[in-house]
Amino acid sequence: MKSFRVAILGCGTVGGGVARILLDLGKQIAQRSEANIEIAKIADIFPARSAQRHGIPRELFCGTADELTKEESNKFIQEIIADPTIDLVVETIGGTSQFLLDIMLNVLKAKKHLVTANKAMLAHHGDEIFAAAEANGVSVGFEASVCGAIPIIKAVRECFTGDKINSVCGIMNGTSNYILSKMKAEGLSFADALALAQKHGYAEADPSLDINGGDAGHKLAILCRLAFGLAIKFEDLSVTGIENITKEDHDFASEMDATIKLICYAKNDGDKVYACVHPMIVRNENLLSDINGATNAVLLQNEYSTEHVLIGKGAGSLETGSAIVGDIVFISKYAECISNKQNIANVKLADVDDMEFPYMAIFGTNNTPGITGAITTAIGAQNINIDTVGHNYHTNGATTFTVTTMPCKLSQLKAAIAQIKAERADILVGTPKILPVLY
């Protein structure tokens, strides 16, 4: 049986999970996959603490000190890269520094396979990383980078190869989903729900990337590349977070039998791909409306096999660790057969302003007569059919007023709002909010 030697860079929550599973399942993997996967070395800045935390033999770690200096740590990483007996390197350090990018590229240049959960790095520097893998004939495994344990990457790469993926739609960030779920279930404000998420360990001390849609955007960018062959620049992706979602927005959603979710959405439309991360009004007949807490879910619409839903845990030490180990096993089994060619298709990112959806526009207005007529007339003037007009909440003399449209382009609705602003700035309080409605 061939031996397959793996080094792990970074032994925190995820790296520790990888080591733990490899130690536990070694025999099972050897039996099922005919590969003897060994941990060659683990490089971590706190070897003693990480060994104890995850129950990993201390001798697997580089260095003898309890804490390594940056220089020592770097030296050990360079030794791993130079070690010809190591077949594959797991990167679980995280972040998007040039320092880390260089390490990842050097791993590939040393003709070692790379497995990573680093969605931010792949979203920002996927071009370079995948090109280096292709040039050096080695593989990049990144199942763990999108929706943790859900096997969405392999589903797209290896399962739906006898099909055409028409759209991808999902809840891909557990923290924001936890916050939105709590706001809905317990009527909390955004700030209170965020505080609760932090208290229970569902949100980091700095939760920016989770709540501003950035983390979800990283995952969507990776999926767009894979499902549609879109060479996407992350900066070009339209990303809106949940920071401005209020308790009142949830009430409006509930009134129309819907739930607000942060949705990653991408649709292949011939030679272009519509893609965005945006809070959406998800109708309760859509299964995504019922995905709560830290769970992730992805809904694919395929040309032949039609609708698929995959649901699972989006994060966690062993959950994400198991996805990484799955990648290691796959590469150890199939390395000689895997094509590392990038599949870039002749498609480009479409302008989200052209994206057709039913939309809900939420207007803060003064509480004076004539507002309903002014707003709905302006919307009608843009050739938009109105589906429903929402209830008003009269608080402190102000009114919140919603219009839900039949499918139209975002640009049409924006033009209507611009006209209202131009002609009746006196009736608006704040900036109207636009949320797509997902059936």
Contact 314, 148 (CB under 8 A): yes
Helix axis angle, 190-199 relative to 174-186, nearest 10°?
120
Question: 149 Cβ partners below 8 Å, 6+ apart?
Answer: 312, 313, 314, 316, 319, 320, 322, 323
Of 3, 34, 58, 391, which lies in the binding site for a second copy, with binding defined by CB under 8 A?
34
Nearer to a second copy, 29 or 140 (CB): 29
Does residue 314 bind a second copy (CB under 8 A)? no
- Collect all residues with Cβ–Cβ distance below 8 Å to 162 and sequence separation of at least 6: 304
Q: How far is the CB of 330 from a second copy (least distance, A)?
A: 6
- For residue 137, give Cα distances in angstroms to 2, 328, 414: 19, 16, 48
Q: Which residues, numbered 334-393, are part of the site for a second copy (CB under 8 A)?
A: 334-337, 339, 341, 343, 345
Alpha carbons 429 and 302: distance in angstroms, whole number:
43
Taking each continuous run of H as one helix and of E as one strand, the counts in the chain are 14, 19
Are 175 and 193 in contact by the 8 Å Cβ rule? The answer is no
Q: Is the CB of 34 or the CB of 67 nearer to a second copy?
A: 34
Q: 219 catalytic, yes or no?
A: yes
Q: Could you say whether residue 410 binds a second copy (CB under 8 A)? A: no
Q: Does 329 participate in binding a second copy (rule CB under 8 A)?
A: yes
Give 301 or 411: the residue with its C-beta nearer to a second copy: 301
Does residue 25 interact with a second copy by CB under 8 A?
yes
**Nearest one of 147, 144, 143 to 291, comparing CA atoms:** 147
In whole angstroms, give the CA distance from residue 75 to residue 69.
10
Question: Which range binds a second copy by CB under 8 A, 57-65, 157-165, 398-406, 427-435?
Answer: 157-165
Whichever of 333 and 421 has its CB closer to a second copy, that residue is 333
> In the structure encoding, which two tokens stand for residue 295, read together?
């769970």
Segment near a second copy (CB under 8 A), from 31-39, 77-85, 91-99, 117-125? 31-39
CA atoms of 32 and 51, how far apart (whole Å): 28
Beta carbon nearer to a second copy, 213 or 326 = 326
Radius of gyration of the chain (CA): 24
> Collapsing DSSP states into helix, strand and coil, what is residue 429?
coil
- Judged by beta carbon, residue 56 or residue 413, the one nearer a second copy is 56
Decide if 234 contacts 124 (C-beta within 8 A). yes
Q: Which stretch binds a second copy (CB under 8 A): 22-30, 90-98, 101-109, 420-428?
A: 22-30
Question: Among 190-198, 203-211, 306-314, 375-383, which window interacts with a second copy (CB under 8 A)?
Answer: 306-314
432 SS3 class: coil
Task: Enumerate residues 106-145 that contact a second copy by CB under 8 A.
Answer: 143
Catalytically annotated residue among 219, 313, 409, 433? 219
Q: Is 203 in the site for a second copy (CB under 8 A)?
A: no
- Nearest CA to 247 among 362, 169, 358, 170? 362
| Contact indicator for 371, 431 with CB cutoff of 8 Å | no
Q: Does 29 bind a second copy (CB under 8 A)?
A: yes
Is residue 438 within 8 Å of residue 283, measured between CB atoms? Answer: yes
Q: Among the candidate windows 42-50, 268-276, 307-315, 422-430, which touches a second copy by CB under 8 A?
A: 307-315
Q: Which helix (H) or strand (E) holds 194?
A: helix 190-199
Is position 428 an interface residue for a second copy (rule: CB under 8 A)? no
d(CA 225, CA 243) in angstroms, rounded, equals: 27
For a second copy, the closer of residues 229 and 407 by Cβ is 229
Name which position in 108, 149, 172, 379 contacts a second copy (CB under 8 A): 149
* Member of 239, 319, 357, 405 binding a second copy (CB under 8 A): 319
Q: Which of 16, 321, 390, 432 binds a second copy (CB under 8 A)?
A: 321
- Out of 185, 309, 381, 418, point to the residue binding a second copy (CB under 8 A): 309
Complex with a second copy: residue 158 or 351, whichever CB lies closer: 158
Q: Which residues are known to be catalytic?
A: 219
Which positions lie near a second copy, rule CB under 8 A? 17, 21, 25, 28-29, 31-34, 143, 148-151, 154-155, 158-164, 229, 287, 302, 304-313, 316, 318-319, 321-330, 333-337, 339, 341, 343, 345
